[in-house]
Amino acid sequence: MQQQTLPIFDYIVIILSLILSIGVGVYFARRQKTTDKYFKAGSNIPAWAVGMSILATLISSVTFLAYPGTGYKSNWILLVQGLMVPVVLVFFIWFIVPLYRKVIRLSAYEYFERRFGFFSRLYGSVGFILMHFSKMGTVFFLLTLAISNLTGVNAFVVLWILGILVVAITFLGGIEAVIWLDVIQGFLLILGGLVSVAIILFKPVGGPGSVLSAIWESGKVDFGPYDFNFVKLTFIVMALNGIFYAIQKYGTDQTIVQRYLTAKSDKAAVKASLMGVLLCVPVWTLFMFIGTGLFAFYKITNAALPPDITAEGVFPHFILTQIPSGLTGLIISALIAAAVSSLDSDLNCLSAIGVEDYYIRFKPNSTDQQRLRMGRILVIVSGLAAMFVATLYILAGSEGVLGIVFALYAIFSGGIVGMFLLGLFSKRANKQGIYFGIAASVMFTAWAMLTSTKFDIGGQNKILLDMGNFNFTHHKYMLGVYSHVILFGVGYLASLFFPAKKVDENLTFYGWLKKRKKGEI
């Protein structure tokens, strides 16, 4: 996509939004005196703000750019994953949230240690670290290319400016600055999306009627194919993937679990979680609709698109060429806000995991000030590492970014949902059985990846480990289903070969159910 330059007024709007972001970090910096404040905001954030923060954390430049790109070139099948989130969580959120608030200090993976021992905690936290470095690199990559193409500024300059901004905000203000900035950025994101939709609908001749008619005729508002087929991308593949995505994100992901701990009470945390869930689906749908709307817009108006433009580049091109000056700056600011609100959350949570799961274990007698200092160091290190991953993306290039993100989720999820469900619903499962489950899940994932992923070998695109009829042939998104099911099944069956041990019911669904029947919650 050809690089272009914005009018000066749009640059002013963007710069003001960046100054506001830094200002929020500076404002909250003076309060960050303890690790409790830095990582949990003293458990004093109102529910509505936590809910908006959950929304902003889950909505990044992946949503802002990749969803419109997918909606433009394809149908809405990738939205199925998001649609499954409220369906699943309406059954889980009521006991997951109070459970975490009672049994962990900071790290979500402390639950696994209390239930199945230290190795399960290590396995969960390493999986989180791998997944989120990949995700952060993808977010940085998408944002950098978009801003570079919109402004004409070199991609690596954009990456370093935005990277330093994100690190500075998180380093200074901790989770408190992250959450309140998320609130601002969440509203800005939604406003940017609504402005874009309004222009898509009302600018073409014939207005909304002609655009909606063209959308309907395109057949893109569809979630198929609906075959019962796990080999290609189908509705059933995305629905199953979405079920496990929802449980993993809200049950085992530090970025969400840490939000539970910032709320004032269990009731407030549940309310915030439901708010975040119910807001995410409309926002995901809004940006998928933007992509489909852009397809109709360019079909009706016959406006020229650059010959080398990618699907992910259509929305940035539309922003630059079809939206009036001033509003362009607002929407670019919303794009930056979407990325920043996801990245600063990831940085704070990676830092929290580093301190809680590793630093304290190796230095149990460290003071709170030493832990706070290490937390800030880890913010810087994590930010630099994420920028390095983004640099590799920029050098290598990428297509179909939304698909890449989902594939990375499937690969790095590593059966953790199976372990989580065993901990909640099985009193018989034990740590010895879990070890067998983890081993089986890892071996399966390694086999599936090696026998299905093609590499450039000697100038030819070959499968690294070709086992013929024994190659993994199902869609890679199914890895995010099978790995969890395998860990659950093998972990439970293997547990039967080891002596049963008494389990603290407070770590299970049954303990919550018993307390509820007694009216204690």
pLDDT digits (tens, 9 = 90+) for 91-102: 888 889 999 999
User: Does residue 243 have a pLDDT over 90?
Assistant: yes
pLDDT digits (tens, 9 = 90+) for 35-88: 999 999 999 999 999 999 998 887 766 677 788 999 999 999 989 998 998 888
CB 334 within 8 A of CB 196: no
Q: How far apart are CA 211 and CA 220, in angstroms?
A: 13
Q: How far apart are CA 239 and CA 242, in angstroms?
A: 5
pLDDT digits (tens, 9 = 90+) for 266-311: 999 999 999 998 898 999 999 999 999 999 999 999 888 988 888 8
Q: Which domains does the chain have, with CATH numbers?
A: 8-413 (1.20.1730.10), 414-521 (no CATH)
Average pLDDT score, the chain: 88
User: What's the pLDDT band for 434 if we cut at 50, 70, 90?
Assistant: very high
User: Does residue 180 have a pLDDT over 50?
Assistant: yes
pLDDT of residue 133: 81
Q: 59: which residues sit within 8 A by CB, 6+ positions away?
A: 186, 189, 280, 283, 284, 338, 341, 342
Q: Tell me which of 337 and 462 has the higher pLDDT.
A: 337
pLDDT of residue 399: 44
503 SS3 class: coil
CB 328 within 8 A of CB 6: yes
User: What's the pLDDT band for 400 if we cut at 50, 70, 90?
Assistant: very low
User: What's the pLDDT band for 166 if we cut at 50, 70, 90?
Assistant: very high
User: Does residue 420 have a pLDDT over 90?
Assistant: yes
CB 277 within 8 A of CB 119: no
Residue 312 phi, psi (nearest 5): -70, -20
461 SS3 class: strand
pLDDT of residue 404: 55
Q: Tell me which of 372 and 462 has the higher pLDDT.
A: 372
CB 40 within 8 A of CB 106: yes
User: Does residue 111 have a pLDDT over 80?
Assistant: yes
Q: 518: which residues sit within 8 A by CB, 6+ positions away?
A: none
pLDDT of residue 66: 80
Q: Tell me which of 457 and 142 has the higher pLDDT.
A: 142
Which region among 57-61, 206-210, 340-344, 498-502 has the lowest average model confidence (pLDDT)? 57-61
CB 238 within 8 A of CB 87: no
Mean pLDDT of the 171-197 span: 91
**What b/e sequence results for 167-195 when a residue is b if at least 16 CB atoms lie within 10 Å of its CB, and e otherwise?**
bbbbbbbbbbbbbbbbbbbbebbbebbeb
Question: Read out DSSP for 130-173?
Answer: HHHHHHHHHHHHHHHHHHHHHH---HHHHHHHHHHHHHHHHHHH
